[in-house]
Structure 1
Amino acid sequence: MESRILVLDGNQRAALAVTRSLGSKGLWVGVGESSDMSLAGSSRYCSRTMRYQDPFSSTQGFFNEILDIIKQYNITFLLPITEATAYVLLQYRDRLPPSVILPIPSNDRIEMLADKNHLQELARHLQIPTPDSLLCQNRADGLKALDACTVFPIVLKPFKSKILDDGEIISTSVAIAYTQEEARALLEKRRDFSYPFSIQSFIEGEGQGVFALYSNGQPVCFTAHRRLREKPPEGGVSVLCESHRVDETMQALSHKLLHAAQWNGVAMVEFKVAADGTPYLMEVNPRFWGSLQLAVDSGVDFPYLLYCTHTGLELPKVNYAPPKRVRWLLGDLDRLYLVLKAPRSRYSFSRKLLEIFRFISPNRHTRHEVNRSNDLRPFWFEIRQYLKALKSET
């Protein structure tokens, strides 16, 4: 029977990397999204595009449509990219046909790592460095805890990136507050702070991530990257990153976490490395990450390796390539805009000029994440969506 793969969340850059990886191996790859077309669905490596109901509007409706797609196209391998679709599939996992492989761990394993408050407790138990944190159960707890905060900036971190609550998915985001007044305004205004969250000390340093694939609690491979530029600049999504050898200390810390969770699948363990070299655990992404294309370019084809570990195919040899850089061009453009409009108290005039120079003079070994000469349609799709978004804002 032909293996048929359905990649969800087609507008994610990781979905594009997965589609290119698996499709280039000659596998049948369908791409689903809550819109007619998507970033990954535009790729030459996509065999079919499917549209499903937005899981944010109805988790039950979304899952029922996924079941219809599985039946119609004989899907055998189902790969969610975001937490939103993964959580819905986990909730209804027992209703999936037995012929379908869902290559993500059980819900209790994911909760050990995806719940950032629980992760902090686990990390302290395992003696892994973490930022100083105050765990808050709700907005009222947080407003009281702010009275004890005397050093700013601070980080307000919801306990999950996506919260599944009574059939509804609520998106959250990490916020950085530079004053107590700013922190209070964020807590009072934003809905996601009515759920558990933490108040953390801000760690000045370089963002680094350890990428890992585990099979039944045992490591298959590791690789790593450095975040050279992020959006927003203070810390967030990587827009320019560089592969490098896995730091032994960070690999050991990552293994402590993933082994404790008896992990089975892919994960990215994120650290902030302070000036003194201490790697502080930020979070664990129990799914494919935004800069996945960098790992594939660096010789570690995580999508195909994951597929092999769950289908019984022989694992290909991992050939680590020399350090490479990958740039998300439009994300980097957004970052530059944020730097240029920031007050001079954060970015001086000379620093802004330097950032412009760095943007227009990339390293000659840098590859673009989305725009690839052998698969250009995703970039044209991204450009059109970007221009539409700009037009709607004006």
Structure 2
Amino acid sequence: MTADESFETLAGASRYSSEKGVYASPYSKPSAFFDDILKIVSEQQINFLLPVTEASTYVILENRDKLPKGLILPFSEAESIEHLANKNRLFQLAQSLDLPTPHTLYIESIEQAQEAIANITEYPVVLKPFKSRILTGGEIISTTVIIAHSREEAEAALKRRYFREFPFMIQSYIKGEGQGLFALYSQGDPLCHFSHRRLREKPPSGGVSVLCESKEVDSRMKKISDTLLHHANWNGVAMVEFKVAEDGTPYLMEINPRFWGSLQLAIDSGVDFPYLLLNSFENGEVAPIDSFTVGQKMRWLLGDLDRLYLVLKSPAHQYTRAQKLLELLRFLLPNGNTKHEVNRLSDFRPFIFELKKYLRDLRS
């Protein structure tokens, strides 16, 4: 069964979604959302609950002691999650363990932020909120990482509520390729690893992956990930995100203590994390997976189209005409062993749903 804020959803459009449920928004009505979840769990006799978005995950974890006895919620305890989800704490831990991180300033007040920005001489810099979603009394505040290319852009970012009222970091910008290491852990011990690299992102300067590729697990990234996840006594899945600089150094960017956007790539490559996670929590053991298909690609078609549009409309100082033409050719030409994230013949209705929404958004 799948559930969301309406019956018309991407996951609900799948042929594999036998039933659909509706709940209140976890963003604006977290208490009503959790009440709806309890109702669905009771009516459908759910025994394995898997929140996927950050908002739904945070609200359910905040209220996990109110869940029915025997219901499996495949997440670590609150303190372990805070080790990873709180980016300020995560980077302080990484630095104490002498792991490669961008140069970081920890900001606790707007006055400290203004003073820090006044003394920055090299741009771009990255303003990173301490959490991606901030759960306050009656709502969830969504945050965004800001790449500031000038002092003016950095000062403009401080107008956002989550920079004015909550801790955050100012970090040096790492130029390089985005790579991720995915892992399944049981009580601090690894059961399997998977790795990918981002070939194209939206926006092009860095963001969500629109074309990615499975790659061999890098020993340095594995060591960093294992060190942090073991330290947190992690239990469940996690994605450790890196920027790999030109000299090959993998710099820690963040850790997502839940399923990630490119999950389908791991499944296509032979590591079925959802199935393994279920077995881990239901049966207590999983046979380790030592290998997977390397070089498997996955493309989010409509996201890739958006990326192309951003490149083509960008000013000349960012992309020359030759570079824009090259990006157009890359978009149009086949890309090797590539599968699509949404538009699949075996389950085509989600793509129809996504395409209709995409076209509606263009007209609005």
Residue 163 of structure 2 is aligned with which of 190, 193, 209? Answer: 193
Residue range with higher mean Cα deviation, 61-70 or 334-343: 334-343
CA deviations on 1:158-188 (whole Å, 9 max, x unpaired) are 1110000112100001011111011111212
Query: 1:140 Cα deviation (Å)?
Result: 2.8
Work out the percentage of aligned pairs sharing the same amino acid: 57
Report how far residue 65 of structure 1 moved.
Answer: 0.5
Would the alpha carbon gap of residues 284 and 314 (structure 1) be closer, same or farther in structure 2, given more than 3 Å must change?
A: closer
Shift in alpha-carbon separation, 1:166–1:314, aligned structure 2, 3 A? closer
What secondary structure sits across from 1:78 in the alignment? coil
Higher mean alpha-carbon deviation, 134-143 vs 93-102, is at: 134-143
Aligned residue in 2 for 1:139:
110
| Secondary structure in 2 matching 1:262 | coil
Q: Say which is worse superposed, 249-258 or 136-145, in terms of deviation.
A: 136-145
Q: Paired residue for 1:281?
A: 252
Residues in 2 aligned to 1:249 and 1:45: alpha-carbon distance in whole angstroms? 38
Match of 1:78 in 2: 49
Q: Which residue identity does 1:53 align to in structure 2?
A: A
Query: Equivalents in 1 of 2:90, 2:71: separation in Å?
Result: 30
Q: What does residue 251 of structure 1 align with? A: 222
Cα separation, partners in 2 of 1:159 and 1:313, compared to 1, 3 Å: closer
**2: CA distance between counterparts of 1:197 and 1:77?**
34
1:382 equivalent among 342, 354, 361: 354
Letter in 1 for 2:303: G
Q: How far did residue 346 of structure 1 move? A: 1.3
Of 345, 348, 358 in structure 2, the residue corresponding to residue 373 of structure 1 is: 345
d(CA) in 2 for partners of 1:317, 1:217: 14
Whether contact under 8 Å (2:129, 2:163) holds in the other structure is yes
Which residue in 1 is equivalent to 2:314?
Answer: 342
Are 2:201 and 1:230 equivalent residues in the alignment? yes
Q: Does 1:260 align with 2:231?
A: yes
One-letter amino acid matched to 2:37: I
**Distance apart, 1:61 and its partner CA:** 0.3
Q: Map 1:1-394 to 2 at 5 A.
A: 30-188=1-159, 190-194=160-164, 195-312=166-283, 315=286, 318=289, 320-392=292-364
**How far off its partner does 1:315 sit?**
3.2
For 1:391 and 1:52, the matched residues in 2 are separated by: 28
Counterpart of 1:11 in structure 2 is: none
SS in 2 for 1:354: helix
Deviations 1:137-172 (A, max 9, x none): 133321111012100111111111000011210000
Give secondary structure in 2 for the equivalent of 1:308. Answer: helix
**Secondary structure of 1:163 counterpart:** strand
State how far apart, in whole Å, the 2-side matches of 1:143 and 1:331 are: 35
Cα distance in structure 2, aligned partners of 1:232 and 1:112: 28
SS at match of 2:49: strand
Partner AA of 1:333 in structure 2: L
**Aligned-partner residue type, residue 319 of structure 2:** Y
Distance of aligned partners of 1:139 and 1:338 in 2 relative to their CA distance in 1, 3 Å threshold: farther
Name the amino acid aligned to 1:378.
Answer: P
TM-score, normalised to structure 2, is: 0.97
Question: How far does residue 127 in structure 1 lie from its aligned partner after superposition?
Answer: 1.1
Q: Secondary structure at the match of 1:241?
A: strand
Unpaired stretches in structure 2, ≥5 consecutive residues: none
TM-score (norm 1): 0.90
| Alignment partners' CA distance in 2, 1:160 and 1:341 | 32
Task: Please say if residues 191 and 286 of structure 2, whose CA atoms lie closer than 8 Å, have aligned partners that are also in contact.
Answer: no
SS in 2 for 1:273: strand
Distance 1:390 1:316 in 2: 47
Secondary structure of 1:220's counterpart equals strand
Q: CA deviation at 1:337?
A: 1.2
Q: Deviations over 1:54-96 (max 9, x none)?
A: 1111111000010000111000000011221111111111110
CA contact (8 A) 1:370 1:378 kept: yes
Quote the Cα distance in structure 1 between the aligned partners of 2:205 and 2:286: 39
Distance 2:138 2:79 in 1: 19
Please state whether the residue corresponding to 2:336 is helix, strand or coil.
coil
Q: Is the 8 A contact 1:207 1:270 kept in 2?
A: yes
CA distance in 2, matches of 1:322, 1:242: 8
8 Å Cα contact 1:37/1:49 also seen in 2: no
Q: Distance in 2 between matches of 1:88 and 1:107?
A: 12
Q: Which amino acid aligns with 1:364?
A: G
Q: CA deviation at 1:210?
A: 0.3
Structure 2 distance, partners of 1:270, 1:125, is 19
Per-residue CA shift, 1:244-267, capped at 9, x if unaligned? Answer: 110011101110000000000000
How far 1:364 sits from its partner (Å)?
3.0
- The AA in structure 1 aligned to 2:353 is F
What is the distance in 1 between the residues matched to 2:336 and 2:272?
23
- Provide the secondary structure at the position in 2 that maps to 1:42: coil
Q: 1:313 to 1:201 in 2, by over 3 A?
A: closer
